[in-house]
Structure 1
Amino acid sequence: MANVIVVRGKAGVGKTTLAKALGKRLNTMVVHKDDIYDSVAVFLTDRNARNQICFDVLHQLLQSALSCEADIIIDFGHNHLDDVEQLKSWVEAQNGVLKPILCVCEDETVWAARLDARKANPSPNQVLTDVQALKEHYAKMRTGVLPGELVLDTTTDDNTLVERVIAYVQSRRT
């Protein structure tokens, strides 16, 4: 049975940093949604089309991983709680186990600094780089925590976060 570890959360909270450190530690493939999006952005200007391609590619990669019972880490916002619930149902229907991890940045000063660092050279997917604009953006959607989901404050050092994720993944077999 394959584990699908989804590292999710708002823009700039540290998802990618955590996913990379976790992938390295677990020797597990990490798929970054933003890498797909940014690659497609060279060819398409329509954001909806870019996002649809990202979803389609991620779905195919997940299907491949699950069919050969390979663990995979997905670095993807998945801030719409409905989307995460649908993903969980789909993964379970494929005989996989979803291990959701919600990254938050409790220190708004740290979060703002991370977003400010992006302003100098934002990638195509990094449209919003202001805390207030992001709060307004996220206020329009149904967000929240899945039952049993691990919530991590990414102001904690990476090694501690990775250890907590490993303990969570190993303790949650179903």
Structure 2
Amino acid sequence: MSKIILLRGKAGVGKTFISNELAKRVNVPIIRKDDIFDTVFNYISDNVLRNKFCYEMLLKIIQTNMECNTDIIIDCPFHFNNQLLDLKKHIENNKGIFKPILCICSNEVLWAERFNQRKANPNPNNIITEFEEMKQHYFNRGIESTPLDGELVIDSIKNIDELIKQTITYIENL
């Protein structure tokens, strides 16, 4: 059975850094929504369509990996629980193992510092580069980071070795 390891959370909390470290230690490839977004940025002008395309592409990649019985790490915000629950159902209906991980940063000063680093060299997916604007955007869209039942929550202010050890234990626990 394929393990689909999802690292999700708000922008700038540390998903990419943690997924990089995890992938190196467990030798599992990563697919990032932002990589897909950045690639299609110049081809699809509407942001809603870009995001829709990215999520559909992620689902196709997940499906292919489940058919090949391979594990994969997905780095994607999945802010809305209805999307997340649909993904969970899809994976479980296809005999996959869903391992969602919610990344948070409980230190708002550190989170803002990390987020605001994007201003120096933003990628196309970095549409918002100001921390307060990003927080307002999440508030306006009703986005909260509510963990699913059984979802691992990791706080990126902790030591990376500790986080990876905790994550690997969670992933290996069936």
TM-score relative to the length of structure 1: 0.94
SS at match of 2:55: helix
CA separation in 2, counterparts of 1:80 and 1:60?
A: 19
What is aligned with 1:107? 107
SS at match of 1:4: strand
What is aligned with 1:84? 84
CA separation in 2, counterparts of 1:146 and 1:137?
A: 22
CA separation in 2, counterparts of 1:142 and 1:92?
A: 25
Q: CA RMSD in A?
A: 1.1
Contact 2:116 2:131 in 1 (8 A): no
What is aligned with 2:2? 2
Q: CA deviation at 1:70?
A: 0.7
Letter in 2 for 1:129: T
CA separation in 1, counterparts of 2:28 and 2:131?
A: 32
Runs of 4+, deviation exceeding 3 Å: none
Contact 1:81 1:142 in 2 (8 A): no
CA separation in 2, counterparts of 1:4 and 1:71?
A: 6
Aligned length: 172
What is aligned with 1:170? 172
Cα deviations by residue, 1:43-77 (Å, 9 ceiling, x for unpaired): 22211121122112111110111011111100000
Please list, as runs of the form range in 1=range in 2, the aligned pairs for 1:28-67 lying within 5 A after superposition: 28-67=28-67
Contact 1:4 1:74 in 2 (8 A): yes
CA separation in 2, counterparts of 1:98 and 1:73?
A: 10
Contact 1:7 1:101 in 2 (8 A): yes
CA separation in 2, counterparts of 1:83 and 1:129?
A: 25
Please list, as runs of the form range in 1=range in 2, the aligned pairs for 1:148-163 lying within 5 A after superposition: 148-163=150-165
SS at match of 2:123: coil
CA separation in 1, counterparts of 2:137 and 2:37?
A: 19
Cα deviations by residue, 1:101-157 (Å, 9 ceiling, x for unpaired): 000000001011011110111111111223322222222235311001100110112
